[in-house]
Amino acid sequence: MPQITVDYSAPLSEGFDRRAFALALHDAVVEIAAAKYEACKTQFRATEDTTVGRDGDGHAVVHVTLGLLAGRTDETKVRLTEAVLLLLREHVKVGAVAFHASAEVRELDASYRKFEV
């Protein structure tokens, strides 16, 4: 915990400093949600096809999902998603596309378990 997944349109690959974004996001998660650095795990998934609305082309999307253990207040979740959106502005160079960015915090199910070796 936290489990962070970043889905993004592949055309953003060159202009998205993913490592710097992840490190800055880990700082925010530690500060805002009281997580531990060693628990922060971020995975990036580039999506080849993105369609928005009826025109389809000329759009790029980034959506960040943060999975946290239960117990955070709604205020904490909002502060965290707002921080994510600010960090995306800093770490994604958009170019000539319409850019859509979003973030959500979800609570991990009570069945969540993990192991490390």
Pairing assessment for the beta strands 59-68 and 3-9 based on DSSP bridges: antiparallel
| pLDDT score, position 71 | 92
* Cα distances (angstroms) measured from residue 25 to each of 51, 57, 89, 91, 112: 27, 29, 12, 11, 22
Every domain of the chain and the residues it spans? 3-107
Go through 67-83 and write b for each residue having 16 or more CB atoms within 10 A of its CB, e for each that does not. bbbeebeeeebebbbeb
Over residues 42-67, the pLDDT tens digits come to 999 999 988 888 876 789 999 999 99
Fold of 3-107: Macrophage Migration Inhibitory Factor (3.30.429)
Secondary structure class of 57 (helix, strand, coil): coil
Over 90: is that where the pLDDT of 7 sits?
Answer: yes
Over residues 29-43, the pLDDT tens digits come to 999 999 999 999 999
| pLDDT score, position 13 | 93
First-to-last C-alpha distance (Å) of the chain: 16
Cβ atoms of residues 51 and 90 within 8 Å: no
